[in-house]
Chains A and B, each alone.
Chain A
Amino acid sequence: MKLSRTTWALLLAALVASSTAFTPPAITTKSAFAATNRNNNNNKGRSILLEASTTTTTTASSAESLILLGKPTPEAKALDAQKVLTQYSIKTAQGETVAMKDLLSHQDVSIVIFLRSLG
């Protein structure tokens, strides 16, 4: 059976659409992250620590190391989250405004969790 040029074009379009419609699942394990990252290291000069539990697998010479997980956008990958965060303020449950730079001490280790809602 011979396919027309239009049919070929439609098939090709469908193939491209199906390949872009599905994004790969979120990277949830360190090994999966390491495997993906080996193939797709575009973290703009920052070194990525591939395994959280072993500190010997840093990929670049920079002293800074970052474990990048989930699905960051290219813009997110490019920014320094700590530097950005400390420029903003949030509100307490009592309605008081608190600067992030006051919450995140320059000396301490901090965990900051962003939730999609209170629901």
Chain B
Amino acid sequence: MCQEFILQWNKQIDELERAGVKLVMVSIGSPENCQKLVDHLGIRDGYLHVDPDNTIYDALYLNRGVKETFFSLSTPQAFLERLKKPDGLKDLGEVLSKWSKGTDIMYICVLFSCFSLCKLPRSYHNAHHPTLAAVHDFSAFFIPPKQEQALLQGGSFVFDGAETLLAHYDESTAAHADLEQVKEVALKRAAKK
């Protein structure tokens, strides 16, 4: 899901730059994995960063927890919203197409939403889910370095200098801010300058 969101923002870079809006994406993870993902998804250099020890996530009080990660109603609601939009799953399809040709997309969705499945041993996947076994080996699927980091949620912010214009604290997995709304706030403010 996060790779899909990264890809969506990556596509906005030109428009944002033309308007004088700066984009910074930050993830949990190591710089090495960040570089691998940048290469794999074709993300523009200099936009994706990492906070390996989640110090900023802690400082901003971004949401976290087992319920937020696995059991929140807002996660299926976010999927539903996406399904209702025309081309709502287009970018997800694009991400998945980079994984494995011919892989059943819905099957991978299940994998994403049941994150814990990835932590099952390879032998389990071989026996029960051959498709997941292939994903298990895939180098661009990155599990956060520390176990507790898997329970962290993200957020989106728009700043104008020292002023915070928008702050979205993701309630749960996949419950991201609406990209168009975030962009609109930033572009409107940039246009006034």
Say yes or no for A19: interface residue by CB 8 A criterion.
no
Interface size for chain A: under 10, 10 to 19, 20 to 34, or 35 or more residues? 35 or more
Q: In the complex, A107 Cα to B117 Cα: how many Å?
A: 45
Within 8 A of B (CB), among A64-119: 64-73, 75-76, 79-85, 87-88, 90-95, 98, 100, 103-119
Residues of chain B within 8 A of A84, CB atoms compared = 56, 59-60
In the assembled complex, the CB of A16 is this many whole angstroms from the nearest CB of chain B, namely 17
Q: Is the CB of B27 within 8 A of A115?
A: yes
Residues of chain A within 8 A of B19, CB atoms compared = 109
Query: What total of chain B residues lie within 8 Å of the partner, measured CB to CB?
Result: 86
Residues of chain A within 8 A of B157, CB atoms compared = 81-82, 85, 111-114
Say yes or no for B127: interface residue by CB 8 A criterion.
no
Q: In the complex, A53 Cα to B166 Cα: how many Å?
A: 12
Say yes or no for A38: interface residue by CB 8 A criterion.
no
What 1/0 flags go to A50-74 for Cβ under 8 Å of B? 0011000000000011111111110
Say yes or no for A26: interface residue by CB 8 A criterion.
yes
Q: Is the CB of B156 within 8 A of A113?
A: yes
Known: A82-B164, A115-B25, A115-B154. A70 touches B171 (CB 8 A): yes
Residues of chain A within 8 A of B59, CB atoms compared = 84-85, 87-88
What 1/0 flags go to B149-193 for Cβ under 8 Å of A? 110111111111111111111111101011001111110011001
Within 8 A of A (CB), among B16-61: 16, 19-29, 31-35, 37-38, 45-46, 48-52, 55-57, 59-61
Indicate the member of B21, B32, B171, B183 with the most A CB atoms within 10 Å. Answer: B171
Residues of chain B within 8 A of A95, CB atoms compared = 31-32
Known: A91-B50, A95-B31, A104-B159. A109 touches B21 (CB 8 A): yes
The chain A residue sitting closest to B190, CB to CB, is A109
B28's partner among A83, A106, A113, A116 (CB-CB below 8 A) is A116
**15 more CB-based (< 8 A) A-B contacts, given A25-B73, A91-B49, A113-B25:** A66-B166, A71-B63, A71-B171, A81-B60, A82-B162, A85-B56, A109-B160, A110-B23, A113-B23, A113-B154, A116-B153, A117-B150, A118-B37, A119-B2, A119-B142
